[in-house]
Structure 1
């Protein structure tokens, strides 16, 4: 999955950028009453506030005829607070579009107690994204304080809801659902951070710096744990060919106008130039490449960026390569490796790293271009909300497949554990439960306990199966402990319940269970004439009279002396005979092999010095023939 966080800085003049499509991110909206409006509709998520990614919000709609556009603060601070007449449910404020910024409407409704805001469009058109105001000098006073979600709905739906509320006097209940707003196909979230090293662009840059500092720790934990795959990106523009030799392009661009950034002070005659920002952007990209490919620690990028922001700010006139390389050295990153990666900014040719960045700015598939800033994109879906640690964490956590959430996503500060209430409606037996908490809710899945897998539907039934099942769950079979001894009717090799030896019954905990068999009274054991029987729980004790010895295997009594003397003599005799036999056989084999060896040796020696008879005969025949 991909997450993209983008921060762009603009000045009064900037080079050209290639833009394409813009994608509106939507969430589900379900009207549960009245009957005439029941159904599921789509809404466009606002680009500010805190969308409840991975969650839901159920509430009752309330519309104010006195201030339908909510452009001014509500006189009654409880205009949208829950009331007993509506069952104490959270209130979702419905306001009309027009006359003021979307964000201002949402803030005013929030101040009056609204849990969420729906803005009804005032024209028949496709859904669009409610953006945060960029040109409102007063926006900073309320933008960062918006903590509720908001969405735009169509004019048609807005008119129907208002009609039900005003003309028919019906209560309109709505369920806002963000669980499927972001894809969550697997156990890892891939996210990208689009940023800029300029730290003198006002509130936007300040928010970005604070976010990087606050998010650094959790980002590194997720990366080191293999839960995320992180990649930083930096926005650049290009200078039109007709202006490559102009003062503006030379001040803001490198590689002959190919890669540019706005002037930090928006004044080409003072302070830092845009080309210095591009160089630091390139350096930070190379820090990531070196940390990833040579150190195998991509998360070191977060250390460099935060340290550079603290140690090398523009306001202290330390922004530049000298201070940057001091930071690199303190982090055990070789400055020479980074310089080699950056290349020569004076060359009239493409820089492969910055060229890749420009190509990535253009949207592909379901992901729009990098235009709305700041922006999160999760698995090709753009996040709508403010650049805040908690809000971004919720967005990332909603990108995991259920049951693969990292521990940080299941903390109380991030989500609610549904398993704590009525066990989430899942199966439970003792401390064994099928309820598994997830970021988006809970799932009912039969658990794996101490290596034993439970099987069932997870809601009404789960049963231990396989070897070791009786160790963790007796599956309804009888079990009892007396005098330190425990007996059970559960068997790993069988799914049923069978009373163990020494007991009788159906073996079921809710049936007759297992009852001890009295071997003495039923005369099934210890029945020889000399035997003395005593029943015990699950077994029996048998002794013999007149000093005799009881043999349990044969259920009989024998004399201790006779048995010991005869048995000992017999065993000794067998052992002695065996040892003698082995010795004799071994000696015979030894003598035979020794004699055979000696015979072969003697014959070999004699063959060398004394011709054999057959050789002499052949020699004589040869002389006669001659």
Structure 2
């Protein structure tokens, strides 16, 4: 609630009234052991650090024996929470009070904690831990806080402390998967911002975020993955103060739309009315660009304006802004028509719509903190950082439907670098089913060179033999194709039955040589058969010739023939017919 209080104090200082319905964004903390604490508990996401939207984090709860409010560095007490290789990350439990929430988180992070749990010091509804307004370099560490933070109730904190004092090891799981809804394949998000660039670390981080996030935002918008809308907070001046010097210098349209003085000093520099007009110009730029089907140009305009027209160089002017608009090719007349007359005592439709949009509806509370991101109607909590915000946006998509930018190296978890994340892989073809995402690794059979591998992603994926034969030996012999690629073999290549070799460079043996051997045997067999038939024919011929000669010899002994030159009788029978 501190963020809401800060804005209200600011508003009270200027105008004497305050309103707002602030919604605390929460995530779940699941205790898996000991049995006495098992269950799911709510905790409030801090407005700093990097919540792991869409993901989970497992660890154990550590409660320090000294420096329990974490207002000092733990190195002063010789305490470290860095986990050893293979060990559980430590979630540091600290007590609320005596110093800023961000100071506690920074000291916990330096000591090696993976996350910080702040136990409330009184029984009350959960609040949002916000960042302080720190100046003079004291807030430099704010942008360095990367561990997630959560506020837990006093009763839950007391239960954790007692269990630890009793010697119990408390295992917990921080879960952000349901912190953002993901109703469809498009994420809608709003960025509530301000054109003021003289508000210290907050303004500096906001400008830096716009510059670094611009590329990713434009890619998502151009391809239709997101629908982005910028918004600007304005307040109104109470009727009794409309004619006061303060309201005249901070408001336009007769006190209807106001902004705080940039330097918090009414006597110097730019006034709040200058900020309101530039805010209005930026809203109108977006409206005209959106009508031209180029809403992403808003990111270029805001970035270029912050570079070319800073307050510190006295260039925060209408003329400088219009030069930037012209350079981007957007219709300046339409923008000026949209802005209207700041001096008129009438409602400005654009700024009235902005004021109405500040009021929360359904699950979204009023926008009271600047800057604020609203993703799928939920207010983002955490560091305003390119990767952190991109992770949150990606969590707004249903799982496996994220665009490619969500799988970029910047936000990958890199779990696949070690043992392929436990997923299927093929060393020979250099193919793996492990895919890093912002949610963590998933085991999903890949698509390689247009070929979709099929399988469970954990133990096998089929399809690699279709790509360069899996890098294995392949050959066609006598019209038959032989391959050493086998889908289920760990090393990928194995010579087919009857072949020998490494399966990669060569396989020699059975199939081709066997066919030649059988052909040769058939030739020999047929030759032997032919030789046998020929030998039998010769044998039969010789037998008959022998018998023929024997018969003639016998007949010659017993039946001598009288040839004496006379003709044989006509009824003579030839010996061959006997």
**Common topology (TM > 0.5):** yes
On the 8 A contact 1:61/1:174 being kept in 2, the answer is: yes
In structure 2, relative to structure 1, the CA distance for the partners of 1:519 and 1:381 (3 Å cut) is same
Q: Secondary structure at the match of 1:99?
A: coil
- Could you say which residue in structure 2 is the equivalent of 1:58? 58
In structure 2, relative to structure 1, the CA distance for the partners of 1:70 and 1:330 (3 Å cut) is same
Q: Secondary structure at the match of 2:160?
A: helix
> How far is the alpha carbon of 1:514 from its aligned partner?
10
On the 8 A contact 2:474/2:483 being kept in 1, the answer is: no
- 1:40 to 2:40 alignment: yes
Taking only aligned residues, the RMSD between alpha carbons, in angstroms, comes to: 3.8
In structure 2, relative to structure 1, the CA distance for the partners of 1:73 and 1:357 (3 Å cut) is same
> In proportion to residue count, which structure has more helix?
2
Q: Distance in 2 between matches of 1:241 and 1:192?
A: 31
On the 8 A contact 1:17/1:238 being kept in 2, the answer is: no
Q: Secondary structure at the match of 1:441?
A: coil
- 1:322 to 2:319 alignment: yes
On the 8 A contact 2:233/2:358 being kept in 1, the answer is: yes
- Could you say which residue in structure 1 is the equivalent of 2:408? 411
- Could you say which residue in structure 2 is the equivalent of 1:437? 436
Q: Distance in 2 between matches of 1:408 and 1:78?
A: 42
Q: Distance in 2 between matches of 1:471 and 1:149?
A: 45
> How far is the alpha carbon of 1:350 from its aligned partner?
2.0
Residue 376 of structure 2 is aligned with which of 376, 379, 393? 379
- Could you say which residue in structure 1 is the equivalent of 2:475? 481
CA displacement, residues 448-497 of structure 1 (integer Å, 9 cap, x when unaligned): 56666555544445556xxxx9846999xx9952459662699xxxxxxx
On the 8 A contact 1:62/1:80 being kept in 2, the answer is: no
Q: Secondary structure at the match of 2:144?
A: coil
- 1:308 to 2:305 alignment: yes
In structure 2, relative to structure 1, the CA distance for the partners of 1:172 and 1:186 (3 Å cut) is same
Q: Distance in 2 between matches of 1:69 and 1:470?
A: 60
Q: Secondary structure at the match of 2:23?
A: coil
> How far is the alpha carbon of 1:98 from its aligned partner?
2.2
On the 8 A contact 1:68/1:95 being kept in 2, the answer is: yes
> How far is the alpha carbon of 1:272 from its aligned partner?
2.5
> How far is the alpha carbon of 1:431 from its aligned partner?
5.0
- Could you say which residue in structure 2 is the equivalent of 1:276? 274
In structure 2, relative to structure 1, the CA distance for the partners of 1:484 and 1:293 (3 Å cut) is farther
> How far is the alpha carbon of 1:281 from its aligned partner?
0.9
Runs of at least 4 residues of structure 1 off by over 6 A? Answer: 135-138
Give the TM-score normalised by structure 1: 0.69
In structure 2, relative to structure 1, the CA distance for the partners of 1:135 and 1:11 (3 Å cut) is farther
CA displacement, residues 374-416 of structure 1 (integer Å, 9 cap, x when unaligned): 3222212222212223322332233233323333332333222
CA displacement, residues 257-294 of structure 1 (integer Å, 9 cap, x when unaligned): 22111222334444322222211111111111222213
- Could you say which residue in structure 2 is the equivalent of 1:90? 89
- Could you say which residue in structure 2 is the equivalent of 1:112? 111
> How far is the alpha carbon of 1:76 from its aligned partner?
3.8
On the 8 A contact 2:191/2:372 being kept in 1, the answer is: no
Give the TM-score normalised by structure 2: 0.75
Q: Which runs of 5+ in 1 are unaligned?
A: 1-6, 491-502, 530-626
- 1:126 to 2:147 alignment: no
Q: Distance in 2 between matches of 1:484 and 1:438?
A: 49
CA displacement, residues 549-568 of structure 1 (integer Å, 9 cap, x when unaligned): xxxxxxxxxxxxxxxxxxxx
> How far is the alpha carbon of 1:116 from its aligned partner?
1.4
- 1:74 to 2:68 alignment: no
- Could you say which residue in structure 2 is the equivalent of 1:178? 176
Q: Which runs of 5+ in 2 are unaligned?
A: 1-5, 485-495, 504-508, 527-578
In structure 2, relative to structure 1, the CA distance for the partners of 1:90 and 1:436 (3 Å cut) is closer
- 1:341 to 2:338 alignment: yes
On the 8 A contact 1:17/1:237 being kept in 2, the answer is: no
Q: Secondary structure at the match of 1:151?
A: strand
- 1:400 to 2:397 alignment: yes
Residue 209 of structure 2 is aligned with which of 208, 211, 214? 211
> How far is the alpha carbon of 1:246 from its aligned partner?
2.9
> How far is the alpha carbon of 1:135 from its aligned partner?
6.9
Which has the higher mean CA deviation after the structures are superposed, 361-370 or 223-232? 223-232
Q: Distance in 2 between matches of 1:321 and 1:83?
A: 55
